[in-house]
Structure 1
């Protein structure tokens, strides 16, 4: 490839393909440069280091996962149904990757372990989306009056069993769907507006 045609997007696409084919150990700047047919110096003009290149690849992968979640969070679906759909979609995205492409999922997991800043940004974006859904539910009266941010953090932590990569070894076991549905039902029940219990009629005696 002519160096003048080299762009960050082309480099990232090549890096992803190298990761897919050979795993994390071969995703060096030199490996990516060889795949593109350019010198490693050409790649360094766009990405200052191997870590910068890997972080960019990871960000792109996470961004693609975020797109459907962002759309759900911004939708006008009733907040309880929106929260259920958002949590189910997050779980489905992670589960499909882990069970459908386990080697690639493990490769990206290894990249994530070395990219705390990127993962921190990703987790914060997820929490912000939950916060927006909870806040919408409080405003509409579908949820009781709660601190939207604190509640979002609690929901994220409570459901981590179903989306944290470290728990992926459990995602294919029997009963997972039922356990997830039960947890979401419990969370939504806890967010439901409270109603005063009916007054007891005084006895005539």
Structure 2
């Protein structure tokens, strides 16, 4: 959590600053303990030992702090998904690994830290920039796999690429969006293999 995210967030002051990192770290711990909705900027100021006004020199609101935390978390998930994809040699297996890692990493976030999961829920509900950037990152990774598969002859080329990317993204979305994930937990064990197999059959040339 100490690294500054590459995702845009409503922050003030120098992008790389020790105090900013200190605020984000303390806020992460505080949100994990008390929850995002129940925590105020005044609570954070007391916990860190700063004045409320000093925190506002770096973040314009509690949401801005939450966005930074959410961006860091989603950024790490995106990195882990890409690492899983890169372990495969051919596009079909890359797609299978993408489905599998998305479900596993989303479940990990859901089960290991429910208080921080509340931040992700707020981000999805209010369409924070960090969430939009994460969704775009997923679609970009997916587009790369599809382009490679079309070039290698593993995937069909008749359907417009943008249409294919969005269709598969919508299949993945129940396991990407925290608002939907909580209603899909009964299917997480079989979902990665069954959904990826269905998608791969539809992509067959």
Q: TM-score scaled to structure 2, two decimals?
A: 0.80
Quick one: distance in 2 between partners of 1:158 and 1:148? 16
Q: Which moved more, 1:10-19 or 1:180-189?
A: 180-189
Aligned residues: 188
Deviation of 1:94 (Å): 0.7
Q: Which has the higher contact order (CA 8 A, sep 6+)?
A: 2
2:139 and 2:165 in contact (8 A); partners too = yes
In structure 1, what is the equivalent of residue 202 of structure 2?
A: 190
2:28 and 2:69 in contact (8 A); partners too = yes
Which residue of 143, 150, 162 corresponds with 1:149?
162
Quick one: distance in 2 between partners of 1:73 and 1:20? 30
Alignment pair present for 1:178 and 2:190: yes
2:31 and 2:116 in contact (8 A); partners too = yes
Give a deviation string over 1:40-84, Cα, whole Å, max 9, x none.
122111112222222212111211211111224455621100111
Give a deviation string over 1:68-118, Cα, whole Å, max 9, x none.
112244556211001110111011111122234334323431244234333
Which residue of 134, 155, 158 corresponds with 1:122?
134
CA root-mean-square deviation:
2.2
In structure 2, what is the equivalent of residue 137 of structure 1?
A: 149
Gaps of 5+ in 1: 194-205
Deviation of 1:148 (Å): 3.0
Quick one: distance in 2 between partners of 1:39 and 1:181? 51
Quick one: distance in 1 between partners of 2:37 and 2:146? 41
Quick one: distance in 1 between partners of 2:127 and 2:172? 23
Gaps of 5+ in 2: 1-16
Q: TM-score scaled to structure 1, two decimals?
A: 0.80
In structure 2, what is the equivalent of residue 81 of structure 1?
A: 93
